[in-house]
Structure 1
Amino acid sequence: MDVSCFKAYDLRGSVPEQLNPALAERIGRAYVEITGARKVIVGYDIRLSSQAVTEALSSGLMAAGADVFDIGLCGTEHVYFATSHYGMDGGIMVTASHNPKNHNGMKMVGPESRPISSDNGLNEIRDRVPQPFANAQVQGRYETLEVTSAYIDHLLDYIDAAALKPMKIVVNAGNGGAGLVIDQLEKHLPFEFIKVHHQPDGNFPHGVPNPLLEENRAVTANAVRDHGAAMGIAWDGDFDRCFFFDENGRFIEGYYIVGLLADQFLRKTGPGKVIHDPRLIWNTRELVQAAGGEPIESKTGHAFIKQRMRDEDAVYGGEMSAHHYFRDFFYCDSGMIPWLLIAERLCQSGKPLSSLIDARIEAYPASGEINRTINEPAEVIAAIEEKYTFGAKSVSFVDGLSIEFDNWRFNLRMSNTEPVVRLNVESRGDIPLMEAKTEELLTEMERLNCPRG
């Protein structure tokens, strides 16, 4: 049996080759046997295959004795919310996020919406799937559960409604599920939403919803400029990530959003801990410390960030990849809370988004993440370490290799999910230095990657 859809953090694969209803039914059975769950939230995204996969998954869960609470078409954060809010034993979201439209997958959590990854149950579920199953003596029951109203109330708790003022905001759901939430929030907010690619459509008529692709950004940027909007927001398919454009239509790198959100959140909560990934750090550190908080580095990846947040009781966690985590959201990531907080900040400050970001980009210019396919990544990273350690202020291995000098630093790491090496470089207020060091490192990586004679 092909179980290649099981990855490090979730399930992803082409339909029907790698994921189909027959396999989904067995995954449901295996999930119950491995986790012991008796009450399971199930939700699904807008992909054309999602309902059939979800129905089969639910059948397997019930055959193994678990009660299924179906929350219907939703975003991944709905499953996180419902699992914790209603005290369930676990939750499964059927989604392939921003993967091609003929793909699907699943994201799994246990009690308190704790992620189930390859190091805490996902591999065991994978290994159980091909084995024979027997039906439980008592079959589980099925019921639908309406979570939208409680979820919307929860989102609105993060902001001070009295501080909000009318403004135009461009929202691009990419024909994913985010538009359904915007329509609900709209009733409670003074904002005028300019809606782009708003209707859920699993055919993805405007391409797969992935705002990280440059070709997908122009429509949001143009709408911001055409309508004179205060900002633009775009989401991926299951809207657990959100991406920002300023009032000029400029795409804002996720790194600078982490710092802005940390600052805004600490202003509201008072001193607290903030978890961030080690790829780019100086801007986040400075803003968190200035707001009375304590910045803490964690290995990249949602399972690592969420666990570190629990360990430290951190109020907020952010990754430059546009995942933002909140203690009050069960330590989970949300694609809705971030833009609400930034809209609130714009209303409170009376300043345009560009002015909140420009000074930070100037203070800490960054290369953005650059990916390269490397034949022997561990060897190349080791050679880079050997070359650059001399004269460095610090060398860190929190996630890959981080080397820091007085005026610049870089992080080089192997991807957790793809066969590539990722490079990030930043400097202290020196764009030419950042660009020169980026080029120098890329040239060195290419030289080391050449096949040996």
Structure 2
Amino acid sequence: MSHTFDPTVLREYDIRGIIGETLGPDDARAIGQVFGSMLREAGGSKVAVGYDGRVSSPILEHALVEGLTACGCDVVRIGMAATPMLYYAEASGEEIDGGIEITGSHNPANYNGFKLVFQGRPFFGEDIARLGERAAAGEWMDGTGATETRAIMPAYIDRLLAGLDGVDPEALAAMRIGWDAGNGAAGPALEQLAARLPGEHHLLYTEVDGNFPNHHPDPTVEANLEDLRALVAEKGLDFGIAFDGDGDRIGAIDGEGRVIWGDQLLMIYAEDALSRHKGATVIADVKASRALFDHVAQCGGKPLMWKTGHSLIKSKMKETGSPLAGEMSGHVFFADDYYGFDDALYAGVRLMAASARLGRSVTQLRGAMPAMVNTPEMRFQVDESRKFAAIDEVKARLAASTADSPVEVDSTDGVRVTSDDGWWLLRASNTQDVLVARAESDSQQGLDRLMAQIDEQLKLSGLERGESVGH
């Protein structure tokens, strides 16, 4: 027997597709058999499995568990859970060797997928490619594994609350916060967490509904924060927090309704963390604001710009011993007093803690940030065969033209060009046939000049910035 996946589903950071079109139970079963076999060959035997609130998730979970047990792995089923709860089960369970969360994350309701952890590290890139090759060749073990069901919610909530240890209880008790679970998988955990948090808490859309009837659960899109913004305004709350569909991305607004973007949240977390971890490295992806890297340096930390992608960031954190990292997309990773994975519920708790420890409200912290003029993340369709080649052409042209100029070119992930006007970025998405662009300046005129440079480089490669497409 062998299994061939649709070529679009095996991606850089995870496995993801459209239910009934590119992804189904047979794929889930094959993932279980091959992943389980790879784990057994590495000396492991027990896998934690969880799933999000999508309509298709229970069917995929059933097939995945069949595949895992058919290759001789034992399975710990944690049921419906946010992705960080699955990560927690894997990280805290001494006898657990791997973990798989079935989730479509922030994608539309007809998508689903798999996020995988292998012996405490992200399973991505070459691992996923190898899984596809082995499935096509029918390379998997046979065996008979056992299954057990484990309720980990109580221990997980206790662990989240530990993020407030040692923080002034009076400052926490005075906080009034809005939360929007977006009908995603984090809803039940949020209800239990909020019931035990100090302060006053107002919750939106905690009922899990895989059709997402209120708004799409992607907190990086400002339109999806409108209900939270209205709640904060109506109740006069201090700030609001929103989650994506599987609870590993955080979005936030302050008491005045201003969005606190991923890199701005990281500025708050960094100031707090660096007060306790002097000189530590703080990592952010190439889409993050210059203001963040400057702020980390001002707080005595070492700013490090790295490639976009939660698996790549987690790997770099381990390599550098960094206590904190984050992405523009709202993935924030705490490794100082936590496990180093992205957990939006824990990030919400840590925002409370940071505000209390720094002695300033979230609104004050947001208001003190420099006013940068920047674009949102612009994503436009480019043929798969051209996207990386076009970036290489831009790099080559810049190398030839900037030899004697004050322009700085960083090619960590695509091309990030810094000049007196600010910076612009062009990179190829690892997961879609799109190029990503972003620019930031101190003035609108500067931003216009930067955008003209992006457009000129695209034109020289026979491309143009078309309509922006979603994730």
Same fold, TM-score > 0.5, yes or no: yes
Q: Distance in 2 between matches of 1:398 and 1:47?
A: 35
State the partner residue of 1:158: 163
Residue 77 of structure 2 is aligned to residue 65 of structure 1:
no
Q: Residue by residue, what CA displacement relative to the aligned partner does 1:371-422 show, whole Å, maximum 9, x if unpaired?
A: 2334544336347625566523422211111222245222221112222222
Q: Residue by residue, what CA displacement relative to the aligned partner does 1:268-288 show, whole Å, maximum 9, x if unpaired?
A: 444322112123352222222
Per the TM alignment, residue 263 of structure 1 is displaced from its structure 2 partner at its CA by: 1.1
Q: Residue by residue, what CA displacement relative to the aligned partner does 1:321-372 show, whole Å, maximum 9, x if unpaired?
A: 111112243321111222222222333455442331233232x443332223
Q: 1:361 aligns with which of 349, 370, 376?
A: 370
State the partner residue of 2:443: 431
Residue 406 of structure 2 is aligned to residue 392 of structure 1:
yes
Q: 1:246 aligns with which of 250, 254, 279?
A: 254
Query: Cα RMSD over matched residues?
Result: 2.3
Q: Residue by residue, what CA displacement relative to the aligned partner does 1:226-246 show, whole Å, maximum 9, x if unpaired?
A: 111111111110010010111
Q: 1:148 aligns with which of 150, 153, 166?
A: 153
Q: Distance in 1 between matches of 2:183 and 2:246?
A: 10
State the partner residue of 2:325: 317
Matches within 5 A, 1:184-203: 184-203=192-211
Q: Distance in 2 between matches of 1:24 and 1:365?
A: 44
Q: TM-score, normalised by structure 2?
A: 0.88
Q: 1:12 aligns with which of 16, 21, 44?
A: 16
The residue matched to 2:190 in structure 1 has which SS? helix
Q: Distance in 2 between matches of 1:152 and 1:199?
A: 18
Per the TM alignment, residue 122 of structure 1 is displaced from its structure 2 partner at its CA by: 1.1
Per the TM alignment, residue 53 of structure 1 is displaced from its structure 2 partner at its CA by: 0.8
Report the CA distance shift for 1:73/1:253 in structure 2 as closer, same or farther (over 3 A).
Answer: same
Say if 1:280 and 1:425, in contact at 8 Å, map to a contact too. Answer: no
State the partner residue of 1:441: 453
Q: 1:338 aligns with which of 347, 350, 357?
A: 347
The residue matched to 2:163 in structure 1 has which SS? coil
Report the CA distance shift for 1:134/1:403 in structure 2 as closer, same or farther (over 3 A).
Answer: closer
State the partner residue of 2:394: 381
Report the CA distance shift for 1:434/1:148 in structure 2 as closer, same or farther (over 3 A).
Answer: farther
Say if 2:219 and 2:249, in contact at 8 Å, map to a contact too. Answer: no
Report the CA distance shift for 1:370/1:135 in structure 2 as closer, same or farther (over 3 A).
Answer: closer
Q: Distance in 1 between matches of 2:114 and 2:403?
A: 41
The residue matched to 2:294 in structure 1 has which SS? helix
Residue 140 of structure 2 is aligned to residue 126 of structure 1:
no
Q: Distance in 1 between matches of 2:293 and 2:316?
A: 17
Q: Distance in 1 between matches of 2:140 and 2:432?
A: 36
Q: Distance in 2 between matches of 1:451 and 1:268?
A: 47
Q: Distance in 2 between matches of 1:451 and 1:333?
A: 35
Counterpart AA for 1:436: D
- More off after superposition, 290-299 vs 66-75: 290-299
Counterpart AA for 1:145: R
Q: Distance in 2 between matches of 1:279 and 1:132?
A: 40
Q: 2:35 aligns with which of 31, 35, 38?
A: 31
Q: Distance in 2 between matches of 1:235 and 1:388?
A: 42
Q: Distance in 2 between matches of 1:75 and 1:34?
A: 25
Q: Distance in 2 between matches of 1:341 and 1:103?
A: 31
Per the TM alignment, residue 94 of structure 1 is displaced from its structure 2 partner at its CA by: 0.4
Q: TM-score, normalised by structure 1?
A: 0.91
In structure 1, the gaps of 5 or more residues are none
Counterpart AA for 1:64: C
The residue matched to 1:65 in structure 2 has which SS? coil
Say if 1:253 and 1:368, in contact at 8 Å, map to a contact too. Answer: no
Matches within 5 A, 1:65-104: 65-87=72-94, 88-104=96-112
Q: Distance in 2 between matches of 1:254 and 1:438?
A: 22
Say if 1:391 and 1:405, in contact at 8 Å, map to a contact too. Answer: no
Report the CA distance shift for 1:281/1:215 in structure 2 as closer, same or farther (over 3 A).
Answer: closer
State the partner residue of 2:57: 50
Q: Residue by residue, what CA displacement relative to the aligned partner does 1:76-120 show, whole Å, maximum 9, x if unpaired?
A: 1111111121131110000011112122110111012x111122x
State the partner residue of 1:413: 427
Say if 1:64 and 1:140, in contact at 8 Å, map to a contact too. Answer: yes
Matches within 5 A, 1:126-275: 126-132=132-138, 136-137=142-143, 139-159=144-164, 160-161=166-167, 162=169, 163-275=171-283
Q: Distance in 2 between matches of 1:172 and 1:415?
A: 28
Per the TM alignment, residue 150 of structure 1 is displaced from its structure 2 partner at its CA by: 2.1
Q: Distance in 1 between matches of 2:36 and 2:452?
A: 51
Counterpart AA for 1:27: I
The residue matched to 1:346 in structure 2 has which SS? helix
Counterpart AA for 1:432: Q
Q: 1:306 aligns with which of 293, 311, 314?
A: 314
- More off after superposition, 348-357 vs 220-229: 348-357
- More off after superposition, 341-350 vs 374-383: 374-383
State the partner residue of 2:469: none
Q: Distance in 1 between matches of 2:111 and 2:37?
A: 26
Q: Residue by residue, what CA displacement relative to the aligned partner does 1:282-306 show, whole Å, maximum 9, x if unpaired?
A: 2222222222221122222112211
Q: Distance in 1 between matches of 2:340 and 2:279?
A: 18
Per the TM alignment, residue 310 of structure 1 is displaced from its structure 2 partner at its CA by: 0.7
Per the TM alignment, residue 451 of structure 1 is displaced from its structure 2 partner at its CA by: 6.8
Q: Distance in 1 between matches of 2:134 and 2:151?
A: 32
In structure 2, the gaps of 5 or more residues are 465-471
Q: Distance in 1 between matches of 2:300 and 2:369?
A: 18
Q: Distance in 1 between matches of 2:451 and 2:125?
A: 36
- More off after superposition, 62-71 vs 4-13: 4-13
Q: Residue by residue, what CA displacement relative to the aligned partner does 1:59-81 show, whole Å, maximum 9, x if unpaired?
A: 11011100000111111111111
Report the CA distance shift for 1:271/1:442 in structure 2 as closer, same or farther (over 3 A).
Answer: closer
Report the CA distance shift for 1:40/1:184 in structure 2 as closer, same or farther (over 3 A).
Answer: same
Report the CA distance shift for 1:265/1:401 in structure 2 as closer, same or farther (over 3 A).
Answer: same
State the partner residue of 1:401: 415
